[in-house]
Amino acid sequence: MKFIRIKDCYKVYKNGVAAIAGLTLDIDKGEFVFVIGASGSGKSTLIKMLYREEKPTKGIVEIGGINVSKLRNRTVYKLRRKLGIVFQDFKLLPKLTVYENVAFALECIGMKGSEIRPKVLKALDQVGLKDKTRSFPNELSGGEQQRVCIARAIVNDPKLLICDEPTGNLDPNTSKEIMTVLDSINKDLGTTIVMATHDKDIVNRMKKRVIVLDSGVLAQDHLKGSFKISETV
Amino acid sequence: MKPFRIIARSFRDSFKSVLRNLSLSMASIICTTITLILVAIAIIVTVNVNHVTKSMEEELTIVAYAEKETTEEQIEEIKNKINRIPEIKEVTYKSKDEWRLEMMSYSDTLEVTLNYLENNPLLDSFIVTVNEVEDLGPVAREIKGIDNIASANYGEGMVEEIISVFNVIKTGTLAIVIALIVVTAFLISNTIKLTIFSRRNEIEIMRLVGSSNTSIKLPFVIEGFLLGLVGALVPVILTIYGYMLAYEKLGGSISFGVIELVKPMPFVLYTSLLLLLIGSLVGMFGSARAVRKYLKI
């Protein structure tokens, strides 16, 4: 059984815009998948449907056996606890330290204090921020802030990491760093990663599976390493 | 122990939020205080009005007079018939001789006059009390229809007027109490809305990392509860000391003893309890409403 199964999926927003129009897609466990496409191609909608911020109008979105489209508002948290989300704008809490920001995710789900500490330190170690636990977000560079965001996303050992343009606000070198971190998470922890991006350099260099969306449908699906920069998106 | 941890965390967060948004919290506490003081006044007035109407109602009776030449058997029959009316509370028979003695005791003139008369000019009578003051009229009319009854009076007109005035006061004060409670709910709901607004990033992250709706909602509901409870403290103190002082100063009644006030104990304690309950519940419901509306959860 596929880890992520999207079948005949449609999403029409209230204003009549059809963001996803008949998308069918499978993603295996442990895969690293880039989702690319021009603005308005349905990338963001697809990502949002994966963490059930948006509900498909029609069709099936299934993650690890959970039918996301049938999830009620009240039970969404059950899905969210199984995945980690990395954002373009980091979404860190400015009044909390690095450690507290990561621990926040575990406190929210009611984990015991004694269990939280080792998990947070492990996650911060994974992203290479073990020596910055007491810093506040505004004392960190953009790349470091994004690494805190990644640490928060992986601290609960999710099976799936959803990244919504994680390098969108970062310079090329820092982007490279972040991609190294994500790649190591994918390889070391076996976490499935779905990443929406605009950055063709990254996509080209990483040699992963690439899904190209156009007007809400699957335009191209390149297997691992077969995508070239020369190809138009 | 997970639910316990979530509750403990919610309490901690709500205290933190009250302190962090101190000016906002103070504003809503003061608003709650003012409205609850008005609620307290309205409650005190309502209860006292009820007390007065009740004691006045107890004094309202129907007096029915038998025809002049009524035999003892007929008196007995009338008494039985009156007793069969379901709305009545009590019937007391007072013979014309008893009336005569009572009237003679009122003044010397009456005594001389009544002694001068050979026959007792007075009538045998029945004094009837009813359960509900509204039944006075219908019961009086029913008694009037019994054989050998000359008249049955209850102070027509005046009684109806008193009843209607009391009813207006009762519904008026009740309407004021309800209106004030609704106002308090809106005020607290608004305050919570603002604190939610200032914490919307935190809430968004909480939702994204998988907090259950309950654990997001709980701190706000507790915050509303705290705001309402603290807002009720001053009204409670004012009620207890204010009413006891007023009662003492007025000597337990106003209008020269015509209107008797409710004794402060345990009345003020019940009122205080009610105020605390209204404050905290309204705070909770107000914030629950705000959370539901603004978090779409």
| Strand, helix or coil for residue B106 | helix
- Indicate the class that CATH gives domain B61-153: alpha beta
Joined together, the tokens standing for residue B46 give: 């309502």
Give me the domain span that covers residue A121. Answer: 91-157
How much of chain B, in percent, has pLDDT values that exceed 90? 5
- Each residue of B110-134: pLDDT tens digit? 788 878 877 777 888 888 888 877 7
Task: Tell me whether residues A77 and B213 touch, CB distance under 8 A.
Answer: yes
Q: Nearest CA to CA, how far is A30 from chain B (Å)?
A: 21
In angstroms, the CA A53 to CA A83 distance is 13
What average pLDDT is seen over chain B? Answer: 82
Is B212 within 8 Å of chain A by CB?
Answer: yes
Which chain A residues have a beta carbon less than 8 Å from that of B206? 108
Top pLDDT among A216 and B192 is at: A216
State the residue for tokens 């070391």: A188
Mean pLDDT of A151-173: 92
| Amino acid (one-letter) located at B87 | E
Exposure of B45 in the CB half-sphere (CA atoms within 13 A): 17
Residue scoring higher pLDDT (B199 or B247): B247
A191 by Cβ neighbours in 10 Å (0-12 / 13-18 / 19+) ranks as buried
In a domain, residue A101? The reply is: yes
Q: Which residues of B touch A154 (CB under 8 A)?
A: none
Least trusted range by pLDDT, from A135-144, A168-177, B22-31: B22-31
The arithmetic mean of pLDDT across residues B128-147, rounded, is: 81
Give the chain B residue nearest A84 (alpha carbons): B209
- B213–A110 CB contact, under 8 Å: no
* Residue among B2, B9, B208 minimizing CB distance to A85: B208
- Return the pLDDT at B234: 92
A37 torsion bin: left (phi>0), alpha (psi -120 to 50), beta (else): left
| Burial of B257: CB neighbours in 10 Å, binned 0-12, 13-18, 19+ | exposed
Is the Cβ pair B297, A77 closer than 8 Å?
Answer: no
B8 touches chain A (CB under 8 A): no
B259: left (phi over 0), alpha (psi -120 to 50) or beta: beta
Asked whether B61 and B167 are in contact (CB, 8 A), the reply is: no
pLDDT of residue B166: 77
Tokens in use for A125?
A: 């170690």
> Residue A213 falls within a domain, yes or no?
no
Mean pLDDT across A210-231: 81
C-alpha dihedral (B32, B34, B38, B44), degrees to nearest 10: 80
Each residue's pLDDT tens digit, B248-281: 888 777 766 667 788 888 888 998 999 999 889 9
Nearest-angstrom CA–CA distance, B13 and B20: 10
pLDDT exceeds cutoff 90 at A187: yes
Nearest CA in chain A to B213: A74
CATH 3.30.70.3040 domain residues, chain B:
61-153
Which pLDDT tens digit goes with each residue over A92-146?
988 889 999 999 999 888 888 889 999 999 999 999 999 999 999 999 999 999 9
Calpha distance A83→A212 (Å, rounded): 23
CB of B55 less than 8 A from some CB of A: no
The size of the A-B interface in CB pairs under 8 A is 55
Closest-CA distance of chain A to residue B238, Å: 40
pLDDT in tens, B163-202: 788 788 878 878 888 888 888 778 777 777 777 787 788 8
Check CB contact under 8 Å for A91 and B201.
yes
For residue B205, the chain A residue with the least C-alpha distance is A91
Residue A124 lies in a domain: yes
Higher-pLDDT residue of B6 and A107 is A107
B194 or B208: whose pLDDT is higher? B208
Whole-number pLDDT of residue A154? 94
What's CA B135's distance to the chain center, in Å? 21
In this prediction, residues B81-87 reach a mean pLDDT of: 81
pLDDT for residue A233:
47
Pick the closest to residue B275 from B238, B248, B246, B243 (CA basis).
B238
Residue located via tokens 């701190």: B219
Whether the predicted pLDDT of A229 surpasses 60: no
Query: What is the model's pLDDT at position B161?
Result: 81
- One DSSP character per residue, B128-150 reads EEESSGGGHHHHHHHHHTSTTEE
d(CA B248, CA A100): 58
Residue A20 in any domain: the answer is no
pLDDT at B297 over 90: no
Total domains present in chain A? 1
In a domain, A119, yes or no: yes
Report whether pLDDT(A174) > 80.
yes
ipTM of the complex model: 0.83
**pLDDT for B216-231, tens place per residue?**
888 888 888 998 899 9
Mean pLDDT across B33-41: 87
**A111 to chain B, closest Cα gap in Å:** 7
Nearest to A77 among B2, B204, B210 (CB): B210
Q: How far is A232 from chain B (nearest CA, A)?
A: 34
Q: CA A25: distance to chain centroid?
A: 17
The confidence score (pLDDT) of residue A194 equals: 95
pLDDT score, position A150: 94
Chain B residue closest to A102 (CA)?
B209
Among all residues of chain A, which has the CA nearest to that of B296?
Answer: A73
